[in-house]
Structure 1
Amino acid sequence: MQILDWIILGSTLLFIVAYGAWKTKGSKDVKDYILGNNEAKWWTIGISVMATQASAITFLSTPGQAYHDGMGFVQFYFGLPLAMVFIALFFIPIYHKLNVYTAYEFLEKRFDLKTRSLAAILFLIQRGLAAGITIYAPAIILSSILGWNLNWLNVIIGVLVIIYTVSGGTKAVNVTQKQQMFIIMSGMFIAFYLLLSYLPSEVTFSNALQIAGVNEKMNLLDFSVNPNSRYTFWSGITGGFFLALSYFGTDQSQVQRYLSGKSIRESQLGLLFNGFLKVPMQFFILLTGVMVFVFFQFMPVPLTFNPTSQKAVEQSIYKEEYQNLTLQLNEIHEEKKVITLNYAEQLNIDVDNPTLRKRMIALNEKEKNVKEKAKKIITSLNQEANDKDYVFIHFVLHYLPTGLVGLLLAVILSAAMSSTASELNALSSTTVIDIYKRNLKTVKSDNHYVTASKFFTLVWGIIAILFACFGTLVENLIQLVNIIGSVFYGTILGIFLVAFFLKFIKGNAVFYGGVISQLIIFVIYYQCIHIYPSGKEILGYLWLNAIGAALTIGLSALIQMMQKNNT
């Protein structure tokens, strides 16, 4: 990194922190601090909802996911627009009518305190873990790429977020996320434009898509009904729908974004705005990853994009074997570069040469085999063999011009700060409103709860930093966050669906139904997903959302009927 990169990176982050703290200082009461005094317009809500979900993991891992596995991951989001419509029609009017600060307040009014506490605690566990991951994700990658100290990076990212989130609460989160999304999307569009400009002159955008297609990177839709396939049309529409329904409808980090709306209509429009733009945004980020793949058909590609793993191998007894694999990869790459360029030239005269196409596929298979051998060496040294999270940052640091490197690093850190701020804000609100205030025996002033909210924001910020410092990278990060959510969201969603639509079910039944359902989901996750780290699970993790919701609803109804028969 050059001095200009440091200036751009530092000034961008400091501006966000200073602007957020200055613009929102001096919250008057709990409503102002937690709900931003219900002043948010629909576009602010929409951007804030989108920015909350679009963490650094999105911009680090998603391009790498597409580089390795193609565009199929976009199917994960197919259920999201449907979920936005459902929440806008059913959830938002009820939340606004009851004038709640958190989603879980509604559960006590509908059921009882223990059910409210169960949902709140499940949220605090999974969102507390996620907050640590959103800090840890960019920190570990930037640490390995740039040689920075991992723990210091965790602390720096966490402290920057804590400063303005403690200062201004929900309003600070909403205000800063608009600036952050502008920086994030500007950086991604610039990176995409430069990717296309770096391709050989013979390779048009249309040609690039066809080259990607030959290498099976453009398979958008999978209509198979195989339950162990992670991303299919059906898992996206069903499992993705339930995940989005639970995340946007019951997760306080999202609910708090639209509870701050001026009216029901503003909140509904904000969610629909997110539903309308989210799939195209993810499609674009995945397409950026596919273009990175096409770019590396013409540029040298390493055996692994993870510099820490590479360094470990080079200092091991496998150094010579690894160097031989590198030579094999380089030979394959040189031939592939010529073949791919010839294929593009033939496309320019409307000829899709089948011989060249077959040769490209064969070379790609040979490259995969060489990389698999390298992965076995890396794994034998107890190093991380999965390098999906390092692909895009490798391109940024090695191929972007001075100044833009700083901007793209600012994009990554801004996304981390944006998502973490929402999480800390929601964790604090839930802790204060659903746990602390609800269990106090004496009445306290509004000022007391504002102070308590700031204190718990600080506490959760410290917990997230500590978790990030002691965390371990066990999955592709974009998948890890969604797996954690899928383990908990189904049960929480089931409780809310019972509350909204099954009036005959009472508090005891839904509480015990939720507890049993969550325990069953833990068992299913461990037996069918956790023990298959390669991704070839017995059951794709997205199905946990639908299963968890169905189990909670079914068990609650069964327990209620049993209780009725015993009386």
Structure 2
Amino acid sequence: MKNLPLFDLAVIAAYLVAMVLVGVYFSRKNNDTDQFTKASGKIPGWALGMSIYATFLSSNTFLGVPGKAFGGNWNSFVFSLSMPLAAYVASRFFVPFYRQTGEISAYTHLEHRFGPWARTYAVACFLLTQLARMGSIFLGIAISLQALTGYSMQMIMIVMGVCIIIYTVMGGMEAVIWTEVVQAFIKTFGALLILYLIVDSVPGGVSKIVDIGAAHDKFSLGTFSPDFVQSSFWVVLLYGFFINLNNFGMDQNYIQRYHTTSSAKEAANSLWLCVWLYVPASLLFFVIGSCLFAYYQVHPEFIEAIKQKVAMDRLPATASAAEVSQLMATLKPVDYGDKVMPHFMVTKVPAGLMGLIISAILSAAMSTISSGMNASATVFTEDIYKRYINADISDKKLLRLLHLTTVVVGLLGLGTGLAMIGVKSILDTWWTLSGIFAAGMLGLFLLGLISRRTNSHEALTATCIGVLVIVWMTFSGSLPDQFSYLRNPLHSNMIIVIGTLTIFLVGLLVTKSKGRSSEQIKKEVIVNG
């Protein structure tokens, strides 16, 4: 077990205590549901923008992005390049729409548009998405801190989960936003510090890193051919646009924050601030991944230690040395990409700086999880409890319910993280799960927003067909060889694209066909008069 110096432990402890104290401070103002869910609409636009940026910059970014760049190239950076277009659509149409409705839940209007089933379906998709997001982030932070401290991933997740639950429950949305503002600075500084240490450890510096990266095609954005089977430029661009459109237009994490500012203009500006901060920040993490690849090319002896650790984690404790060596020989960079940055930190980060970097990783996880907990609790109370159980609950009792639900959601997210231990790639796992759950929500929302003639039955038909398509695209890959012709031929990132378009286009076609039938009936009635 790696023993951290006293100074580093003091820095980490100070950070955790500070986060809890923020919750204690804001708990004095957290006396009603409006304050807990919307911070009473008094958050400055710049602070909200920093908060949304911090939510995007999760531990999946800290570990998953460098791991992807190490094992492959910069293809996943195209996801970030899609953000400005999604932000334009959201700031132009979605933000004003939600501000005008005044509804704290992103899904209330779906019931007004299509009925209770639409609202319930979207809520279920959102809650599943949040559990997947929180689980992947808990796993990311556990992988890092296990390498840095030697403690088990289970213990790390539990300790961090307790701290996050405490300050989120006590402080509400205002505590979430202001802690994320602080965390945004900590994360960015931590990333720059890691980059400096890596470059400084490579003989020849930047020029050597560029030469190695160019020789191994590490800076490629993927093929520009119209290929939707592999992770091409266009697959990631489409995936990024649809998932970011879902984030900005359907995700309660963001919709709820649009109500925390004093005006729709401030909310829209905060969205753009997030985009202009996140795009270069995400590029920074791809650069870190390429720099790590160059470092381990110069020091290949360290790779064997990483591969051995991965092989031993995958094999049972009774595995022989020969079995470990055999598995090590089959491992490729993509199989251990998530492990390289924690290994570098253990072996190369000097005493005194480790506490700062660990605090940055902690902040990356805590901000996203805390906002997800608050948003999930809000959705449960607004869209499930008040809708189906007790619509006339007093504000005092509702606040207690929000506190309790926040705790339960945090524990469920923690349980999801524990269940995900052993996945191959954090980023790939999160992208796949989010694409599955988000596709139905976005398609239904766009259908209701754009096609004013579509009614509940037509939307339900389109959603059922869309869900069947999503299920087929997700699980057909496991079909036996005799049914290989039934497998989904497209890349898994296309699930959200095809799923969304299926619901939207089928809804339009059904609406149009029924519209024609109605017109024909009217004409026949007139003719037969």
The alignment's TM-score, normalised by the length of structure 2, stands at 0.89
The equivalent residue for 1:222 is 223
Q: Does 1:434 align with 2:383?
A: yes
Q: Does 1:41 align with 2:44?
A: yes
In structure 2, do the counterparts of structure 1 residues 530 and 46 end up closer, same or farther at CA, with 3 Å as the change threshold?
farther
Q: Determine if contact 1:48/1:257 at 8 Å carries over to the other structure.
A: no
Give distance in 2, aligned partners of 1:516 and 1:471: 30
Q: Determine if contact 2:26/2:170 at 8 Å carries over to the other structure.
A: no
The equivalent residue for 1:455 is 404
By how many angstroms is 1:491 displaced? Answer: 1.3
SS at match of 1:228: coil
Q: Determine if contact 2:73/2:218 at 8 Å carries over to the other structure.
A: yes
Give distance in 2, aligned partners of 1:468 and 1:78: 29
Give distance in 2, aligned partners of 1:461 and 1:530: 35
The equivalent residue for 2:125 is 122
In structure 2, do the counterparts of structure 1 residues 290 and 177 end up closer, same or farther at CA, with 3 Å as the change threshold?
same
SS at match of 2:335: coil
Give distance in 2, aligned partners of 1:410 and 1:475: 25
Match of 2:500 among 522, 546, 549: 549
Q: Deviations over 1:32-75 (max 9, x none)?
A: 11111111222112111121122212101211211111222211
Moved more, 70-79 or 387-396: 70-79
Give distance in 2, aligned partners of 1:375 and 1:451: 50
By how many angstroms is 1:258 displaced? Answer: 2.5
Q: Determine if contact 2:114/2:456 at 8 Å carries over to the other structure.
A: yes
Q: Does 1:112 align with 2:103?
A: no
Q: Determine if contact 1:77/1:240 at 8 Å carries over to the other structure.
A: yes
The equivalent residue for 1:319 is 321
The equivalent residue for 1:558 is 509
Give distance in 2, aligned partners of 1:537 and 1:504: 32
Q: Determine if contact 1:304/1:387 at 8 Å carries over to the other structure.
A: no
By how many angstroms is 1:31 displaced? Answer: 1.7
Q: Determine if contact 2:168/2:374 at 8 Å carries over to the other structure.
A: yes
Superposition RMSD on alpha carbons, in Å?
2.6
Q: Determine if contact 2:311/2:324 at 8 Å carries over to the other structure.
A: no
Give distance in 2, aligned partners of 1:318 and 1:196: 38
Q: Deviations over 1:290-319 (max 9, x none)?
A: 111112232233236266435467976652
By how many angstroms is 1:463 displaced? Answer: 1.3
Match of 1:186 among 185, 189, 205: 189
Moved more, 410-419 or 306-315: 306-315
Q: Determine if contact 1:306/1:390 at 8 Å carries over to the other structure.
A: no
Q: Determine if contact 1:529/1:538 at 8 Å carries over to the other structure.
A: no
The equivalent residue for 2:20 is 17
Q: Does 1:475 align with 2:410?
A: no
Spell out the pairing of 1:280-295 with structure 2 (5 A cutoff). 280-295=280-295
Match of 2:442 among 478, 486, 493: 493
Give distance in 2, aligned partners of 1:109 and 1:388: 46
Spell out the pairing of 1:98-247 with structure 2 (5 A cutoff). 98-143=101-146, 146-200=149-203, 203-230=204-231, 232-247=232-247
Q: Deviations over 1:350-400 (max 9, x none)?
A: xxxxxxxxxxxxxxxxxxxxx972439xxxxxxx99212111111111101
The equivalent residue for 1:354 is none
Q: Determine if contact 1:74/1:283 at 8 Å carries over to the other structure.
A: yes
Spell out the pairing of 1:337-486 with structure 2 (5 A cutoff). 373-375=329-331, 386-486=335-435
SS at match of 1:407: helix
Q: Determine if contact 1:211/1:294 at 8 Å carries over to the other structure.
A: yes
- Corresponding pairs, count: 508
Q: Does 1:520 align with 2:459?
A: no
Q: Deviations over 1:279-300 (max 9, x none)?
A: 2111111101111111223223
Give distance in 2, aligned partners of 1:13 and 1:209: 38
Q: Deviations over 1:183-227 (max 9, x none)?
A: 111111111112222222xx1423421221112111135312211
Q: Determine if contact 1:529/1:540 at 8 Å carries over to the other structure.
A: no
By how many angstroms is 1:458 displaced? Answer: 0.9
In structure 2, do the counterparts of structure 1 residues 403 and 526 end up closer, same or farther at CA, with 3 Å as the change threshold?
same
The equivalent residue for 2:67 is 64
By how many angstroms is 1:24 displaced? Answer: 4.6
The equivalent residue for 2:526 is none
Alignment identity in percent?
A: 26
SS at match of 1:303: helix
Q: Determine if contact 2:202/2:208 at 8 Å carries over to the other structure.
A: no
Q: Structure 2 stretches of 5 or more lacking a match? A: 482-486, 522-529
Q: Determine if contact 1:20/1:175 at 8 Å carries over to the other structure.
A: no
Q: Structure 1 stretches of 5 or more lacking a match? A: 326-370, 377-383
Give distance in 2, aligned partners of 1:557 and 1:542: 24
Q: Deviations over 1:446-503 (max 9, x none)?
A: 2222211111101111211222233343231012111111112121111111121110
In structure 2, do the counterparts of structure 1 residues 443 and 311 end up closer, same or farther at CA, with 3 Å as the change threshold?
closer
Q: Deviations over 1:313-364 (max 9, x none)?
A: 79766525867x9xxxxxxxxxxxxxxxxxxxxxxxxxxxxxxxxxxxxxxx
Q: Determine if contact 1:144/1:307 at 8 Å carries over to the other structure.
A: no
By how many angstroms is 1:428 displaced? Answer: 0.3
SS at match of 1:27: coil
